[in-house]
Structure formats: structure tokens, C-alpha cells
Amino acid sequence: MKYYLLLVSSSTISRQTVKATRRGIAFAFSSSPKQVSKGYFSNCINHYRTAGIVTNFEYTPRRAFENSRSHHCLALCAIDPTKASKMAPSTRQRRKASNISKPASESAESEEEKDTVRGKTAKATKGAKTKNSPASKPVAKKTKNAKAKNKKVESDDESKDFVSENEAGDTSSNSELTESIPAKRSPAKRKSSTVSSESKSSKKEKNPEQRITERDPLPKLWKPSEHDKCFKILSWNVDGLRAVMKNLPTAMSDLVKKYDYPDLVCLQETKLQDIHVEDPKLMIKGHLLDEEGYDSYWSCSTAKKGYSGTAVFIKRKGGKSLNNAKFIVDGANKGEDNKGKQKSIESFFSKKEKDPEHENRSTKCEDGESFDPNYLPVDISYGINHSDHDSEGRSLILDYPLFTVLNLYVPNSGQKLERLDYRTKEWDKHLVEFVKLKEKERGVPVIWLGDLNVAHLALDVWNEGAKHLAKSAGTTPQERESFSLQLQEGYCDLFRELHPEAKGQYSFWSTRAGNRQPNKGLRLDYFVGSKSLLVDGSSSKVVARDSYMDPEQLGSDHCPVILELEIKE
């Protein structure tokens, strides 16, 4: 007697289910009720008991798989392998069980009747064939039928593995036919199948190793000294800020500490509403990175809930908060709200004297501690002056004294490219118009950064040349051409200018496909700036020195990207 597991399911048992657990299961059959009860289970295997196949069993209900909604039951049964049936309970098995339950005399008589009938039919067919054909043909046909029958038994053994080798030998009733079949045929066939399965498994194991995209190490282009002034910007598409804070509560804090507290942190795709930002239970505004010394500003989507959204975190200077501190800049008290106050006539016509502190570009807090005002924005605005775009909270603009920063989350064209025309014909054109106007009005370089949702060059895609790229968002010819037209207006991709030959440097990986570990990604996050940022001359006040990614940072399908600027005096 051998012990096997008996599987009963309340729904149809798929071939994969049986195949995954077939080595420990003797029988597998399904039932129509919504739930398998212990009483129904006993009724199902009752015919096995009457047949003498199952002597005892232990009922254990459980779910066989976590993702399965159907109820599965397992039972440990003592089964006689010589009598075990390979088929699920059916009318055929019930008939067999009823025949076995008859007295021994009746079953013997029935077997003798069957043998006589088989003998008569075999003789009749043999006599008919000998009249019309040579004597060698019936033997050949018998061997052919025997081979076919042996193949059927062999396939059943390979598909289920429920029957022992002794039972497979008992299934054939004609001994003459079985003797004509070579004995070593089935083992050879099984051996070839095992060899082929081993070769397939080895190929599957080798494929992931061959497809890993190598990432070129980036050299450190700039190491600022004590006298150099570095302005560091960190940008990250968080793909839902609440999810990041829930799954990795210290991710933001650890990130700013890792890069020595960047002067500006920009986030995209926060998926927040105004009520979420102000909700004290979520502890976002006034809590997130507050202890690390940052003030935050938020732009949320009003067109659609839980959609898009951008945010910036500005590092405080002089130990004071940008929101609450009263800074003395150019003789004006920036902490007071002067809107709506009318100036006197004397102050209007009076001659303004130059402030020596303004000339030296040094600013003091109320406690007397000095700091460089170039590290704080003089103005913060929302949107690019188009109502069609600004309602989705995709842009935050910061006007620093020496440059302008645009934190952007560019619209995605969609899986079916339903927003491709909107993105290339409206958004991209309006963005360039706004950037050029901003640069002309302020007279300082412009940097727009964030998730721009385009993989521009072949180096920015891990599988460049694939046919589906032309119809995938971010890699369509229209999006790439539109980005090229933006750069032709006097701007450049700062990372690609600083690392023109770097391969495998991506900022996005599909989470569903599990592409992060093999580095099958795209570079969708950029720092695009005026070409003057790459000119290191005597008149240059801001110079782009280095740019890189942090692919080890988890929490999103994107990774942070960093830009280092040198502020010259």
C-alpha cells in the first residue's frame, strides 16, 4: 500500500493545477457545488472504497493556491497502486466500481463471456483477412495496433504519473501484441523528453543573463572644493507620494541625507489633492522634510483626482524658514504682506540709493547670520500660462537670481497614444514659448527638469530597434522629433552633453515586467537647460558641472536624477 494525496476542487481543475502538484496526488477531480464539504468529499471517494482502492483517508480542507478562488481539499489516502484508476470520477468509474462490488462468481462469469466474445471477433477478422491478403499482413497490423495502444498508455503515464509501472503492464489484454513491441522503446522516449526539457530549462536560465543591459560607470566630473559654491538639484518621479511614505517611511529623509541635503528637491507625479497636502493625519505639508530644513510648495491637479501633481522642497538658509522668516533683502521686509498698501509721494519721487549689501550679494537674517541670496528663489509661480495645461498641476516655476527652474511632469501620450497630438502639437509648443519668454524677460538661463516622458536617443532605450517602440508612448517618432525641435531653440540635454557616450543609464523601468534588475529601462527624466550653462567663461555666473542617476533608490518605477551647478561670484 502507498500513501498519496487526493485532491478535490469545487471548480474545474485546470491542467496547470494538476501538473503543479501531480507527483503527490493520486486522483484529481472537480465538483459542481460552490464549497466542498466533508460529507460530499466522503461521497466522492466512496466508489474507491468499494473497489478496494482506498482503505482509509484523513480529510484536510485547504486552499491549494493563494490566488485561487475555488475551494480545494486534500486528503491523505492509503491506495493500492495496482487497482488505482487514472481517471477522474465518472460514469465509467462508477460502472467499474459496481462490477468489482459484485460476487466473485458473477464477475468471473462476466470476464469469461467477454473473453469468448473477443476470441470470436478476433477469429472472424483473421479469417476474413487471410482470404484477401498475405499471411504477413495480420501480424503487421497487430504490431501496429499494439504500438498505438502502448503509445496511449505511455502518454497517460507521462501526463499524470498517477499509475505505477505494474499497472501499465496490466492494462493490455492481448499478450501476443505486447510481446511484439520492443521493451526499450518507452524508456528511450522518456529519456529524450527529459533531455529536451533539460535543454529548454537551461535555455530559459541563460536568457535572462544574456539580456541584462550593462550600465557604464559614470566618472565624477567635478569635485567642488571648499571655496566652490555648488547648487545641487535632485529630481524624482515618486509615482504616488503617499505610497512612498507608506512603504518606505524614511525614503525621502534618507535620500536628502545621502546627497548632502540638496538645495532643491523636485518631485513629480505626487498624485495628491489639496486636501491631502493639508491633511494633518497624512503629515505631508509642514512635516515631510521639515526637520531636514526644507520648505515645500505643491501644485495639485484640479481636473482629475489622484492624478499628476508636482512639488518642490527648498532648503532653508541661515537657519530660517522661507515661509515664516522675515528676511532683509534690498531693504524690503519680505516677511510682510505689502500688497494693497499705497506708497507715499515722497517715497515715489525720492532718489533711491544703492545698498552696499545688495552689491555684495550678501543677505542677513534678523539674527545677523549671513547667507547667499542666490540659493533662494525670489518668486514661485504655478503653470505655464495656459489654462488647458495648468489645471493638471504639471508645473512649478522658481525664479532664482541667477537662473530659472521649471519642475515639470510632461503629459504621457497614453497606452493607445490617445494624447499624442495633444502632447506634441500643444504642450511641447506652448512649453517652448513659455521658456523662451521667461529667458528673454529675466535675462538668465533656464533649466526645465523632471519626467519629460520621452526617450530621445538610441542610448536612452535598452531595446532600440524593437518594432513596438514606434507605437509606444515615449518612443514614438513624433515625440522624439518634437523634443529635438525643442532643443533646436537654443537648449541642450545637460546629462547627454556631459556624458555623451554613457550606455545603460536609465531612469525608468517597468515594474510589471520586472525590468529593473536586468536594467531594461528608458531614460525619461532630464535636465534641459540653456546652452550658456555649458560655457565656462569669465562672464559665466552659473555652469553645469555634472549630472547622474541613482538607480539603487527604491520606492518608484523611476529613480532620482541629480544636477550639480557651480555658482560663480
Catalytic residues: 409, 451
Grid cell locating 10: 469545487
Question: Is residue 528 a contact partner of residue 452, using CB atoms and an 8 Å limit?
Answer: yes
- The CA distance from 79 to 389, in Å, is 71
Q: How far is CA 131 from CA 118, 123, 143, in A?
A: 21, 13, 20
Phi-psi region of 33 (alpha: psi -120 to 50; beta: other; left: phi over 0): beta
Question: Is residue 18 a contact partner of residue 28, using CB atoms and an 8 Å limit?
Answer: yes
Kind of pairing, strands 229-237 and 264-268? Answer: parallel
399 class by beta-carbon count within 10 Å (0-12 exposed, 13-18 middle, 19+ buried): middle
Helix (H) or strand (E) holding 332: strand 332-333
Tell me the CA end-to-end span of the chain in Å, nearest whole number: 91
Which residues on neighbouring strands pair with residue 380, listed in sequence order?
398
Which residues on neighbouring strands pair with residue 317, listed in sequence order?
320
- The CA distance from 429 to 501, in Å, is 29
Strand order from edge to edge, sheet including 229-237: 294-299, 310-315, 264-268, 229-237, 561-567, 542-549
Which positions ≥6 away from 258 have C-beta within 8 Å? 550
- The CA distance from 307 to 293, in Å, is 28
- The CA distance from 16 to 4, in Å, is 19
Which positions ≥6 away from 14 have C-beta within 8 Å? none
Residue carrying the nine cell digits 473477443? 118
Question: How many other C-beta atoms lie within 10 A of the C-beta of residue 377?
Answer: 20
Phi-psi region of 47 (alpha: psi -120 to 50; beta: other; left: phi over 0): alpha
Grid cell locating 547: 549630472
DSSP characters for 435-493? HHHHHHHH-S-EEEEEE-----SGGGBTTTT-GGGGGSTTSSHHHHHHHHHHHTTTEEE
Which residues on neighbouring strands pair with residue 313, listed in sequence order?
265, 296
Which residues on neighbouring strands pair with residue 491, listed in sequence order?
530
- The CA distance from 155 to 158, in Å, is 5
